[in-house]
Structure 1
Amino acid sequence: MEGSGAPRCRRVGILGYGRLGQFLAARLLAEGAPCGFSLGFVWRRGGPERPLPPPLPLWDLRDLASTGVQLVVEVSHPSVAQEHGEEILTHADLMLGSPSALADPETLRRLQGAAERGGHTLYIPRGALWGCEDIERMDRAGTLQALSVTLTLSPASLRAGGWLRERLAGAVASGTRAVLYEGPLRPLCPLCPQNVNAMAAAAMAAPRLGFDGVRARLVAEPGVPDWHVLEVEVTGVGDGGRALSVTSTRRNPATPGAVTGDNTRDSFWSSLQACTGHGGCVRFC
């Protein structure tokens, strides 16, 4: 009964209905209520010409305010956050599954400002990033000297644009392992935004380094058709040539050609459950 003291479910809207959006929608429908969440709507780019499942479709994001959701989960494309994130944060918390959008300084400024003004939380899910809390603590303490992230994928899993597309095509033609990019993270994000979200999460965990200070390395490897391999190298501030150094390697099983690894879907489900409202700030989940 209403008023019985039972906690109300937080209504969740999902932006995007690819593999990850379908997975989260199914989990919310099947298991959301015991966790304190319910599915409020599902939206996908492309409008009515791209069909949605019968439950709870939202065709126009301009109608989002009328849905009464408390949390919006973006798992679509960075452009969605760039175009609609500020408006979403006036009405609800936002779990940003495409943090590569924040490589654009103006987008980061606008979304941080909207979260502060609206009293809503901009959540950054850790996704495939291993050890983000440790990176965040070191950065906050001023003991993080360097951070590099290497992502190795099958060429079929890469969604490259610009000049990177030509380099990827060359790697595919050769059939051999190829380093497609090595350098600061910021220029890489707009070239393959759907692939580098774990790298972007690392930059957000280490704001002293940020998108310009975090080093990125993107590797196309035909020999790993059903794996996503993420290597994170952390170097602490040292003295006399001695410094903390930590390297982690995460091998994530993946459907051949998929952008998102299998275990990353479970990571997103755990992150969603942590989005319980933390006020007007940016927060990892």
Structure 2
Amino acid sequence: MAQAEAPRCRRVGILGYGQLGRFLAQQLLSRGPPLGLALAFVWARDGARLEELPPPLRLSQLCPLAWAEVDLVVEVAHPCVAQEHGEDILAHADFMLGSPTALADPETERRLRGAVARGGHTLYVPRGALWGCEDIQRMDRGGTLAALKVTMTKSPQSFRPEGWLRERLAAAVAAGTRAVLYEGPLRPLCPLVPNNVNTMAAAAVAAPRLGFDGVQACLVADPGVPDCHIVEVEVTAVGDKGRALRVTSTRRNPAAPGAVTGDATREAFWRSLLACRGHGGCVQLC
């Protein structure tokens, strides 16, 4: 009787080798093989940091050949990677978008969704620190979600702002007090702090009826929270007889001083990576 052929390992490439990329690479090397996962390559914008990895795992440049040799590409670098290479990746492999702030650009979202429809691969969006993700999705799909607001509070040193928000943060640091850096629709905020508000972007994906224009964002710099990131999610839904249902959750994620990513987010991304399998061509929260 012929012996059954062992299932092939799912090959994973990682784009980005900061805190998250390094953690995911280590998990794939140590915990991946028994789970049917193999690390295929790692790329970093600063390639010098890859020297701690074996040479065969270092990807020197982004190219179609790399995507053709893997089943899943995980981006944990910067939204510009998805904007420049996302379509090409989705033509060959599933794509876990660790920087969903890239989708705040309507043209990028249109191109990536089009690539999903054409190629049959899945665009995965990790939930990150978004608590109650499934409940938000169900309310949105049922048409009862009326409002969604996400407030993120971090130490001033944890933000990496661009444009005019950099000046506002500098003023807050000089004052040494708690300051609301931004409050309003999510879409304009994403390009100003693309590495800090991916949890908010995940909320916009979970609630497409509201989307990046309807989801409300509040960004707070507070020197009184140097060792954690606080994410507050406020959900308003329309209940029976028009009465409103309101739910607020608060998540305190331990974080090293000045860290962009909280401690628990690393494990959350690993769990998201494990969920990136078998969904077919769609956009899928994981």
Give the TM-score taking structure 2 as reference length. Answer: 0.95
Report the CA distance shift for 1:267/1:50 in structure 2 as closer, same or farther (over 3 A): closer
Report the CA distance shift for 1:66/1:23 in structure 2 as closer, same or farther (over 3 A): closer
Which whole-Å CA distance do the structure 1 matches of 2:241 and 2:234 have between them? 20
Matches within 5 A, 1:91-130: 91-130=92-131
RMSD: 1.5
1:81 and 2:82 correspond: yes
1:3 to partner: Cα distance: 6.5
Matches within 5 A, 1:35-184: 35-47=35-47, 49-55=48-54, 56-65=57-66, 68-184=69-185
Structure 2 equivalent of residue 283 of structure 1? 284
Unaligned 5+ runs, structure 2: none
Report the CA distance shift for 1:12/1:66 in structure 2 as closer, same or farther (over 3 A): closer
Which whole-Å CA distance do the structure 2 matches of 1:279 and 1:30 have between them? 28
1:227 and 2:228 correspond: yes
1:237 to partner: Cα distance: 1.5
Report the CA distance shift for 1:74/1:64 in structure 2 as closer, same or farther (over 3 A): farther
Q: Secondary structure at the match of 2:63?
A: helix
Structure 2 equivalent of residue 10 of structure 1? 10
Which whole-Å CA distance do the structure 2 matches of 1:3 and 1:280 have between them? 32
Which whole-Å CA distance do the structure 2 matches of 1:65 and 1:15 have between them? 11
Question: Is the 1:16–1:42 contact (alpha carbons within 8 Å) kept by the matching residues of 2?
Answer: yes
Matches within 5 A, 1:262-273: 262-273=263-274
Give the TM-score taking structure 1 as reference length. Answer: 0.96
Which whole-Å CA distance do the structure 2 matches of 1:45 and 1:277 have between them? 30
Which whole-Å CA distance do the structure 2 matches of 1:225 and 1:162 have between them? 24
Q: Secondary structure at the match of 1:219?
A: strand
Q: Secondary structure at the match of 1:232?
A: strand
Question: Which has the higher mean CA deviation after the structures are superposed, 61-70 or 225-234?
Answer: 61-70
Which whole-Å CA distance do the structure 2 matches of 1:113 and 1:66 have between them? 18
1:214 to partner: Cα distance: 0.3
Q: Secondary structure at the match of 1:250?
A: strand
Report runs of 4+ in structure 1 exceeding 6 Å deviation.
none
Structure 2 equivalent of residue 32 of structure 1? 32
Which whole-Å CA distance do the structure 2 matches of 1:278 and 1:115 have between them? 12
Which whole-Å CA distance do the structure 2 matches of 1:100 and 1:63 have between them? 23
Unaligned 5+ runs, structure 1: none
TM-superposition CA deviations, 1:182-214 (whole Å, max 9, x none): 000000000001000000000010000000000
1:53 to partner: Cα distance: 2.7
TM-superposition CA deviations, 1:235-282 (whole Å, max 9, x none): 001466621110000000011111110000000000000111321110
Give the share of equivalent positions with the same residue, in percent: 73
- The aligned length equals 283
Q: Secondary structure at the match of 2:278?
A: coil
